[in-house]
Amino acid sequence: MSDTLEVLVLDDEPIVGKRLKPALAKVGCAVEVFDSPAAALARIAEKEFDVVVTDIRMDEIDGMQVLEAVNRKSLRTKVIMITGYAMMSLAREAMEKGAFDFIAKPFTPEDLREVIGRAAQALRSPAEPPSALAG
């Protein structure tokens, strides 16, 4: 793994990506921003990202579908789910499907940088042993 963290940010509100891109670039992430889930999925199909940050509630394709697509492509990629409609059942579903973390909006770029820092650490540490219980 190189030192630069390859991050894809997907949110159908363009302002989110616009704000997060410079905040993450500042800590050395190479960031690709998408506001169209279809375009993001196409990019995910061709490139293995270290981290994918995705909104959950979007019109055409929701964040859970994005999570599943990332898992099909690479189980190594850490997926961080963000949503303005956080509920316990949704949070648990995301974790069960293999999300690395789940964050409720609004959050600060600093909050996200902290989670991405943990994702980077997890990518560097040896893989967890597979568990029959874990999803």
Partner 1 sequence: MSVIAISAWSHCHGEEIARRVARKLNFRSLGPELLGEVADRWQLPLPKLVAALGKQQTLLGVTPRERRRLLAYLEAAVLEKLAQDKVVTWGLGAHFYVMGVSHVLKVRLVLDWEARVRAMMEEGGMNEAAAAKALKKEDEARARMAHEIYRKQEDDPTLYDLTINLMQIDIEQAVEIVAEAVQHKRFKPMTFSRKLMKDQVLATQVKAELFSRHPDAQVSADGGQVLVTVPAVRRDQEKKISAVRDLARKVKGVASLKVEVVNDFLEEAAESMR
Q: Which residues contact partner 1 by CB under 8 A? A: 86, 88, 91-93, 95-96, 98-99, 101-104, 107, 111, 115, 131, 133-135
Nearest of 45, 50, 47, 21 to residue 35 by alpha carbon: 21
Rounded to a whole number of angstroms, the minimum distance from the CB of residue 101 to partner 1 is: 5
Rounded to a whole number of angstroms, the minimum distance from the CB of residue 22 to partner 1 is: 21
CA 94/CA 132 separation, integer angstroms: 18
Rounded to a whole number of angstroms, the minimum distance from the CB of residue 99 to partner 1 is: 8
Residues composing the chain: 135
Contact by Cβ (8 Å): 43, 32? yes
Q: 60 or 96, CB closer to partner 1? A: 96
